[in-house]
Amino acid sequence: MNNNLNLKDTHIIEQIKINIKDDLSNIKMNFQKKIIIPINLYDLNDHLIEFLNYNKDKNSDIIDLVTIDYLFFFRTVIINSNSLRMIILLILRNFIKINPLFTNKILDAMLPILFCKYFEDITLPFEERYTYIKIWQIWLKLSDSNFPIICLQSIAVMAKSQNIFKIGCIEFLRMASITRPDLVSSVGGFNILINSLVGQNLPKNIIHKIICSLIYIINTPNKRKYFNGFGDFYKLFSVFTKSDYSSGVSIGSDANNPKQKEDLKKENEILEKKLNEMIYIITNFLYSWSGYFIS
């Protein structure tokens, strides 16, 4: 326990632990009767939040109370109850916050497979699917060494599709590339990050983060060895070298044709926008390019 805690706080934390233990006991007792009482789950989540607010060391042995029986219960609820799946996710997220070692229990129960299944289900509510990303972000931040590759594969799939989670998934890949470049490389994440710089209309702050992250990885030998995106860098320069952009009205066309003039104007506007995007990106890369040339 943190030495900075006063006697009052210590007493409160111990009482919250008792409440959490009682919540778990009630859940287990009812589950053995094949009954799921929602209020037990909401009480447990409230007590976990309360515990997090008081206990600042965040490495409590409280997770030892959650045996395989409870994880089996969590799995059952996730699979069979659409209405209660969200509260289970919040409970799991708070257990991870309390102690990162809880991620080992999640792995043992093979819950990541379920996470991925529901995360990729476009019929589910936004809030639930977003919660999977938040759980993975906490997991990656607190315990990246055991982060499951199957979850990163789901993130990569969603990052390549056109959906409301696209930017969030690209940002997740960027974060993961710093701590687990090996996993990001294995799911094609570096290819996705480089492609996201070209013609994806990402916010400039996201583009800047991606550039800084790639530069850091390229210039860090023990991370650069996992970087397999050097061949994709040509895409950043292709806008300057592609020959399929018109620079004027083509030979044999009618220079006075209003439609051709309008098409050419639109084409030039698109090209100008791409040029400005690439100038910004390449300029930022050139601030620190040394790693690109170091084998």
**Range ranked top by mean pLDDT from 103-107, 240-244, 271-275:** 103-107
Q: What is the mean pLDDT of the chain?
A: 82
Return the pLDDT at 195.
84
Judged against a pLDDT cut of 70, whether residue 281 lies above it is answered with no
Return the pLDDT at 5.
56
Q: Of 167 and 55, which is predicted with more confidence?
A: 167
The secondary structure of the chain as a DSSP string is --TT--HHHHHHHHHHHHHHHHHHHHHHHHHHTT---HHHHHHHHHHHHHHHHH--S---GGGGG--HHHHHHHHHHHHH-TTTHHHHHHHHHHHHHH-TTHHHHHHHTTHHHHHHHHHT-TTS-HHHHHHHHHHHHHHHHH-GGG--HHHHHHHHHHHHS-STTHHHHHHHHHHHHHH-HHHHHHTTHHHHHHHHTSSS---HHHHHHHHHHHHHHHT-HHHHTT---GGGGHHHHHHHH-S-S-SSPPTTS-TT-HHHHHHHHHHHHHHHHHHHHHHHHHHHHHTS-GGGG--
Classify the C-alpha dihedral 65-71-77-78 as positive or negative.
positive
Poorest-confidence range of 38-47, 152-161, 286-295?
286-295
Mean pLDDT of 88-103: 93
> Tens digits of per-residue pLDDT, 137-150?
999 999 899 999 99
Q: Are 198 and 236 contacting, i.e. CB atoms less than 8 angstroms apart? A: yes
Return the pLDDT at 97.
92
Q: pLDDT over 70 for what percent of the chain?
A: 77
pLDDT band of 279, cuts 50, 70, 90:
low
| Prediction pTM value | 0.76
Mean pLDDT of 7-32: 89
Return the pLDDT at 253.
53
> Tens digits of per-residue pLDDT, 172-221?
999 999 999 999 999 999 999 988 887 677 887 888 888 888 888 888 88
Q: How far is CA 187 from CA 149, 154, 173, 201, 271, in A?
A: 8, 9, 10, 23, 31
Return the pLDDT at 205.
84
Residue 102's CB is within 10 A of a number of other CB atoms, namely 23
Judged against a pLDDT cut of 60, whether residue 31 lies above it is answered with yes
> Tens digits of per-residue pLDDT, 207-259?
888 888 888 888 888 998 898 867 766 666 665 555 444 444 444 455 567 77
Judged against a pLDDT cut of 80, whether residue 104 lies above it is answered with yes
pLDDT band of 122, cuts 50, 70, 90:
confident
